[in-house]
Amino acid sequence: MLELGCGKGEYTVGLAREFQNKNFIGVDIKGARIWKGAKASLEEKLANVAFLRTRIEVIEAFFAPNEISEIWITFPDPQMKSGRAKKRLTSARFLTRYQQFLLNQGLIHLKTDSKFFYEYTLEVVKYNKLELIKNTSNLYNEHWTDSILSIQTHYEKLHIDEGDSINYISFKLNNQQLLKEPTFQNGE
């Protein structure tokens, strides 16, 4: 499993603790951020955790076809400015990259405080007729929150403390499907 834009690696390490028979890789461009997660995994002797420092724009270069079963995207930059859709980690452009190494019908999870990014991702999923698994605009008010969804990143805790709702979407990605970016009313 991958966590893209893992920051301090809280989710990567939390998942590794929960599922010690699976491997987890946190990916981020900033080494100072991932150092904390790498240090925690070493101190806890978690042999199923690794970290990769790279740009997500080239992520497909690091993995073979069908090598990854799930992708977690936790609190990414929503890239809200006009014309930034291609930089959003759930855009058709990025989903096409993920198709190159994700198992067919592999899961993608998104947790975000950004209502804008949540609604954008929901529109991408619906437009491409991807199979939506779970979807909520207020995760911690749902009864299906479990130990996995309850793992909280540094940024998530900050947003919860500020009273923000946490949005969550999970969906399956078909590797044979040609993905397209929806057209939005504001011209993005």
Classify residue 24: in a domain, yes or no: no
Classify residue 128: in a domain, yes or no: yes
Q: Which residues in the chain show pLDDT less than 50?
A: 187
Classify residue 14: in a domain, yes or no: no
The pLDDT of residue 188: 56
Classify residue 26: in a domain, yes or no: no
Q: How many domains does the chain have?
A: 1
77 is catalytic: yes
Classify residue 27: in a domain, yes or no: no
The pLDDT of residue 70: 97
Classify residue 8: in a domain, yes or no: no
Q: What is the pLDDT of residues 94-134, one digit of tens each?
A: 999 999 999 999 999 999 999 999 999 999 999 999 999 99
- Main-chain dihedrals φ then ψ at residue 50, nearest 5 degrees: -145, 160
Percent of the chain with pLDDT over 90: 79
Catalytic residue (one of 77, 113, 161, 164): 77
Classify residue 160: in a domain, yes or no: yes
The pLDDT of residue 187: 47
Q: Tell me how far apart the alpha carbons of residues 9 and 74 are, in angstroms, rounded to a whole number.
A: 10
Classify residue 183: in a domain, yes or no: no
Q: Quote the pTM value.
A: 0.92
Q: Write the CATH number for 159.
A: 3.40.50.150
Query: What domain range is 67 assigned to?
Result: 55-173
